[in-house]
């Protein structure tokens, strides 16, 4: 171009350029020489070079490794907290009459109790199912259990309950058991398979004989309503049509109390054609202090690893070393998160307040009676017994 060339057709070189740029003048502009690179970098100081070649890759690596933590920490900026529940105070003492207890809740006592159905989807939680059914046994009309040969994530699994059924002879006369074949669609959203299994559980409840105004407990196996809570609800009239249960929230065992805010468990007065088995928020009403939720409460390390890969949030296993048995055992004993996640909260105050390992609790008061009566068998669930079996 004319403005880049002198009269002789050579390359134009400004007299104001320094020596380095002067060396570049007269060379073919299409070639990338060391001199040209030196010219480009001439104005960049050492600190900037360190930032570009050290800090930038480090930041990229940090985002890759800790991106999920960053996202959860900034959650208050992009997600509003849900509407608060309306907490119903919970009154109970073993020496207080049912008429008085119903009255304290603003309800009337019935002439006879409602029938109660306890329905669960089962994976592999044999011990938690035993504790649950022993806790609820006196007041349950029918135990309903559905099992699949597939996890929610499409992994084949044995029919664990079927192979342990002899251990549950105490509920056999009141048991409705069903199985459903998995579709084994790997890569599909796990919540699709979970939803289909919950629809199948609706059908199994009909087979079990549930009718209008029977009580239906909707909760995962490890979300255990207390015995006296269910007795209260079956004896009292005018209870809400749908009522969530606020459970004490434990992790790994009853040694690590996270908070008192587990809310997904619910009790329904069944309505034909309207009641659908679900595990999400269905009302604003919640009954306080109604039981226990013991998440990832397993006897064996391989059971922890199986659930990490099999449940609906398996995307939290971001690195293969998360599944290392020694690492899993260490996390259990320290009360730290298996997935290295920050607390799932909606305010910075709550997130910061719950960061780090869960404090140890040394209280085993007001736990399921069957657990304490069989403490030797289930000692891994009690304070001071964090070591798990390797098998």
pLDDT digits (tens, 9 = 90+) for 228-239: 999 999 999 999
Q: What is the pLDDT of residue 16?
A: 47
Dmax of the chain from CA atoms?
Answer: 113
Residue 122 has pLDDT above 50, yes or no: yes
Residue 58 has pLDDT above 80, yes or no: no
Residue 104 lies in a domain: yes
Confidence of residue 2 (pLDDT cuts 50, 70, 90): very low
Supply the range of the domain harboring residue 221: 86-297
The token pair that represents 266 in the structure block = 């619910």
CB 120 within 8 A of CB 144: yes
Q: What is the pLDDT of residue 170?
A: 97
Q: To the nearest whole percent, how much of the chain has pLDDT over 70?
A: 82
Q: What is the DSSP letter of 53?
A: I
Residue 11 lies in a domain: no
Residue 219 lies in a domain: yes
Confidence of residue 152 (pLDDT cuts 50, 70, 90): confident
238: left (phi over 0), alpha (psi -120 to 50) or beta: left
Residue 78 lies in a domain: no
Q: Which residue has the higher pLDDT, 44 or 95?
A: 95
Please tell me the total count of domains within the chain: 1
Separation CA 29–CA 130 (nearest Å): 79
Residue 68 lies in a domain: no
Q: What is the pLDDT of residue 10?
A: 47
Residue 142 has pLDDT above 50, yes or no: yes
Confidence of residue 312 (pLDDT cuts 50, 70, 90): low
Q: Lowest-confidence range among 160-164, 189-193, 258-262?
A: 189-193
Residue 369 lies in a domain: no
Residue 1 has pLDDT above 50, yes or no: no
Report the CATH number at residue 221: 3.90.550
Q: What is the average pLDDT value for the chain, to the nearest integer?
A: 88
Separation CA 217–CA 261 (nearest Å): 18
The token pair that represents 113 in the structure block = 């109790």
Residue 180 lies in a domain: yes
Residue 4 has pLDDT above 50, yes or no: no
Q: What is the pLDDT of residue 309?
A: 85
Q: Lowest-confidence range among 113-127, 149-163, 368-382?
A: 149-163
Separation CA 36–CA 29 (nearest Å): 9
What mean pLDDT do residues 246-265 have? 97
What mean pLDDT do residues 53-67 have? 65
Residue 364 lies in a domain: no
């Amino acid at each position: 171009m004319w403005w880049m060339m002198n009269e002789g057709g050579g390359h134009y070189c400004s007299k104001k350029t320094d020596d380095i740029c002067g060396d570049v003048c007269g060379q073919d502009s299409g070639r990338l020489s060391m001199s040209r690179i030196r010219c480009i970098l001439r104005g960049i100081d050492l600190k900037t070079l360190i930032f570009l070649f050290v800090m930038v890759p480090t930041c990229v690596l940090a985002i890759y490794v800790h991106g999920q933590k960053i996202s959860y920490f900034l959650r208050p900026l992009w997600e509003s907290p849900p509407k608060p529940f309306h907490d119903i105070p919970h009154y109970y003492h073993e020496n207080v009459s049912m008429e008085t207890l119903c009255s304290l809740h603003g309800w009337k006592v019935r002439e006879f109790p409602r029938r109660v159905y306890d329905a669960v989807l089962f994976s592999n939680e044999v011990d938690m199912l035993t504790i649950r059914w022993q806790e609820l046994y006196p007041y349950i009309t029918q135990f309903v259990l559905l099992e699949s040969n597939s996890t929610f994530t499409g992994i084949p699994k044995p029919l664990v309950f079927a192979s342990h059924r002899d251990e549950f002879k105490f509920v056999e006369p009141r048991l409705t058991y069903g199985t459903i074949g998995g579709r084994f669609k790997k890569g599909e959203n796990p919540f699709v398979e979970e939803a289909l299994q919950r629809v199948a559980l609706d059908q199994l409840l009909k087979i079990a004989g549930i009718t209008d105004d029977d009580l239906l407990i909707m909760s995962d196996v490890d979300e255990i309503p207390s015995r006296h809570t269910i007795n209260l609800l079956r004896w009292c009239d005018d209870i809400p049509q749908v009522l969530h249960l606020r459970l004490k929230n434990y992790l790994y065992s009853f040694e690590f109390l996270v908070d008192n805010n587990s809310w997904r468990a619910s009790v329904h007065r069944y309505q034909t054609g309207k009641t659908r088995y679900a595990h999400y928020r269905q009302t604003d009403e919640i009954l306080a202090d109604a039981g226990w939720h013991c998440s990832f409460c397993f006897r064996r390390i391989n059971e922890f690893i199986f659930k990490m890969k099999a449940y609906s949030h398996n995307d939290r296993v971001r690195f293969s070393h998360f599944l290392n048995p020694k690492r899993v055992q260490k996390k259990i004993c320290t009360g730290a998160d298996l997935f290295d996640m920050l607390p799932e909260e909606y305010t910075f105050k709550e997130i910061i307040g719950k960061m780090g390992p869960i404090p140890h609790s040394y209280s085993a008061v007001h736990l399921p009676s069957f657990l304490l009566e069989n403490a030797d068998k289930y000692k891994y669930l009690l304070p001071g017994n964090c070591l798990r079996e390797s098998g």
